[in-house]
Structure 1
Amino acid sequence: MNKYTILKWEKLLLWLIPPILRKRTHAQWLHVLLTPIRSIYDETLYKMQHTGQVIYLEKVLNEAFNPYNNYDPNLSTEQKRSNELIYIDESVKPTLQYVYLHKEIYEPDHILSDGTIVKDKLLIPQLEIYTHNEYKDRDNKPVYLAHRKDYTTIAYANFRVFIPESLIKAGNIVVQSAEDNSSSAPIKVANIEYHNLLNFYKLAGKSYESYAYLPDPD
């Protein structure tokens, strides 16, 4: 933090009081009047020092709702989950997949110039079909055959915010009950401060979803 942004309020107030009025009671009274201005200054300065970048947004979220765990922007996603930090990940959107024919999957036997017979060779893995909810699972990365409805009827968030279950159990973050209680389903956060903070820092037009997670076992 630059030194010119740090104000020594007590000294500043003392300098502004005329010498004839520099009494303890008068100074304490002025300190009380100065408290709201000091709070507004600190809050504005804090906002100016952070942007909508992922590392800053994660830092702000953890300082607001997870103050007992120190946030380190250099940690990997796995380390953030292990340390039970709030972190941000990109949204999962299905991509168009081509359905291969059987003859495109397997290369038939052929004989090399030296007479060696090369057996069938698997060119690409067999395709498996999964539902959209299964595809959203972080630990499940199957081949998903996207349908036209996936692009016309489903609104995808631009990024996802992952919240450790410990913060929800501790009451730092309040979650509304949802019909779908699966681990891959987004949660509805009831904290107004949470949404106000995200909406202040995130880029205009960006949308987000919140998810709860349990720390990965060692």
Structure 2
Amino acid sequence: MWYDVDFKKLAILLLPTALRKAKVVAFAQALLSPIADLHYSWKQKRIADWYKIEHTGQVCYLRKVLNDALDVSERRIYISDGNAFPRKYIYTRAENKPVFLGKMFIYQNSEYTNTGVDFIVYAPTEIMATKINELNALITYYKLASKRYKVQPI
């Protein structure tokens, strides 16, 4: 590709043939070593940027990014849909609606429909204890702006 440059070879090729002696070649390569280091760091940044471009907020890509960054060997982080329980209301006698409650469960406010989270990220407890900020930063970077999430320990 156009960005793959071998600066050691370039230093030799740009010298006139009469000056291609060991000391002159070493001097030319020493002069080009800061540029080679800068080029190497640019290539690493380019690879990191392409990684960010290629991965989106889809569940499969988000799970891959989280496992690549935080749980490389065991890949235990996974994502599921958020809870969306319908709300149950208790009516007064004046409203002339049924008051019978039946069997009810009490949920957190974030678990109800249209007020809760859109997806839940399940992560091992050791990752949550040590790298919770990095986990939240990665999720926030890759998720869509309108989506809400919650992190739960496994």
Q: Report the TM range for the smaller structure's normalisation.
A: 0.5 to 0.7
Runs of at least 5 residues in structure 1 that lack an aligned partner in the other structure:
72-84, 98-126, 137-149, 174-188, 214-218
Match of 1:102 in 2: none
- Measure the CA separation in 2 of the matches of 1:45 and 1:15: 27
Match of 1:36 in 2: 41
- Amino acid aligned to 1:89: S
Partner SS for 1:155: coil
Aligned mate of 1:132, from 98, 107, 119: 107
Aligned mate of 1:94, from 70, 77, 85: 85
- 1:92-131 equivalence runs, <5 A: 92-95=83-86, 128-131=103-106
Match of 1:205 in 2: 146
Percent identity, aligned pairs only, is 24
Runs of at least 5 residues in structure 2 that lack an aligned partner in the other structure:
16-23, 89-101
Partner SS for 1:132: coil
- Amino acid aligned to 1:162: Y
Contact 2:8/2:29 (8 A) holds in 1: no
Deviation at 1:10, TM superposition (A): 4.8
Asked whether 1:19 is paired with 2:14, we answer: yes
Partner SS for 2:115: coil
Structure 1 residues 195 and 96 mapped into 2: Cα distance closer, same or farther (>3 Å)? Answer: closer
- Measure the CA separation in 1 of the matches of 2:31 and 2:52: 32
CA RMSD of aligned residues (A): 3.1
Asked whether 1:45 is paired with 2:50, we answer: yes
- 1:57-76 equivalence runs, <5 A: 57-69=62-74, 71=75
Structure 1 residues 49 and 15 mapped into 2: Cα distance closer, same or farther (>3 Å)? Answer: farther
Structure 1 residues 15 and 164 mapped into 2: Cα distance closer, same or farther (>3 Å)? Answer: same
TM-score, structure 1 normalization = 0.49
Partner SS for 2:122: strand
Deviation per residue, 1:150-205 (Å, 9 max, x gap): 56xx8311111111123235x2x2xxxxxxxxxxxxxxx4x1x3333222211121
- Measure the CA separation in 1 of the matches of 2:10 and 2:135: 39
